[in-house]
Structure 1
């Protein structure tokens, strides 16, 4: 569980509703189904127009990654690579074939299979970097979906506000209907801003951060597999991979 995501959402939502309570505003005044329908329906409707359906469905699925980080981590990648290197050093590269069959990650499975097949290290790098690029393009679309939704939401909130004001202006002769129209107008704006700045944009940023972590680990994996293919010492491989943790992954391709 990512505590930063939970704490952030609690702080953001709590600050808005807490501030409203301190100002003496009744919380019920912020609950407007009409405003929610306009903002959420309009925001995600525009998002559906902007992206293919599989990309949107993947984005909603990837929301879980904002709350639950991937199980693998750089230290785990280093440990796995060192294990592969030691095994290959003792029993030869062909001994890694069993690892290729048991590992669950498809990227790792393909990399190990290429090592076992004895592919040239340069070809290995080129092939795996193509896979890495494809993975990045696929993953970053989820962040783009939420960033786009975050851009639409405030504008849709303004549309809701305008609709509320139109309702108010058309009922000036009936004071009993003015309050509801004004409430929808202002609450729609709040919903639009909160949808964008508390949920969509932060989720997009978090997903980009997750992608950065995953790319770093895959770059480390590529470098480690090439080192294994070259027959390098496991201790030297470990030192090389730990350099990625020191420079934030800027060693890509070096």
Structure 2
């Protein structure tokens, strides 16, 4: 919703200010389809040249993040802590019983309580792989933390592809606007024998190309890239929380201490309060009793 409001503000301020200053939209509207075809078409073509099909689909999908915002909400972090608490407690009480949950998470009675988390393959794999390794005696907390850190860095790097692709497009749009403007000037020079009022309109139409390239770059595509990057970075805290709790578990802290370590390492604006988490964990304990 905030993204839509932002776009409306951009258009209202730019074109509203232009009209308030006495500008006329006629010349812009007349030139806009052709300039947009040249600049937008060239930008899309360059985007296709510089990305494979996977990258194209990834970017198209991630544009939705501009309007939807982060995937993980505060309640999801609370649910994640409850899920990890159940798994850690079961692993300590009955190491054999935990195997069915980490080997087949989609059939697990524990994972099924948290359907949104279960749909995230990376989160489920991160939990399952780490707990499976621990059951195979790969339980040095420092080594595991290093492995998890590298894995999450690779995941974050891949997730940032859309932001980089959009930013590259934004960087190229002003130059493409100049290309369109130069073509407009060439067209104008070919009609140099026309009266000044006609030449003025043709020059104005050519300048629309420069305006459009800069406007798209800094008013739309660049902010889109920045928003996608911010959302990806925000969602990465979810996986960092998994790392913090599972590494604390390998240090043999009590289960509730492991969960508190994770809670305190969660950014404040998405961190569940101690009392809310305590109530949620009580419900988990009562359900398991």
State the TM bucket, normalised to the shorter chain.
0.7 to 0.9
Name the counterpart of 1:195: 216
Gaps of at least 5 residues in structure 1 are 249-254
Instruction: Give deviations 1:190-219, integer Å, cap 9, x for gaps.
Output: 110111011111111111111211222211
- Normalising by structure 2, we get a TM-score of 0.75
- Does residue 110 in structure 1 map to residue 125 in structure 2? yes
In structure 1, C-alpha distance between the alignment counterparts of 2:140 and 2:205, rounded to whole Å: 63
1:224 aligns with 2:228: no
Cα RMSD, aligned residues only: 2.5
What does residue 49 of structure 2 align with? 49
Indicate the residue corresponding to 2:21 in structure 1: 23
Matched with 1:151 is 171
Judge conservation of contact 1:69–1:210 (CA < 8 Å) in 2: yes
8 Å CA contact 1:157–1:190 kept in 2: the answer is yes
Question: Could you tell me how far apart the structure 2 residues matched to 1:43 and 1:71 are?
Answer: 29
Q: Which stretches of structure 1, 4 residues or more, deviate above 6 A after TM superposition?
A: none
Return the alpha-carbon distance in structure 1 between the equivalents of residues 154 and 178 of structure 2.
Answer: 38
After TM superposition, the structure 1 = structure 2 runs for residues 168-187 of structure 1, keeping only pairs within 5 Å, are: 168-175=188-195, 177-187=198-208
Q: Please, which runs of 5 or more residues in structure 2 have no aligned partner?
A: 107-117, 270-289
Post-superposition shift, 1:67? 0.8
Q: Distance in 2 between matches of 1:226 and 1:96?
A: 19
Bigger Cα Rg:
2
Per-residue CA deviation, residues 106-143 of structure 1 (Å, 9 max, x unaligned), is 12222332314514254543443343233112111100
More deviation, 172-181/200-209: 172-181
1:61 and 2:65 aligned: no
Distance 1:105 1:73 in 2: 14
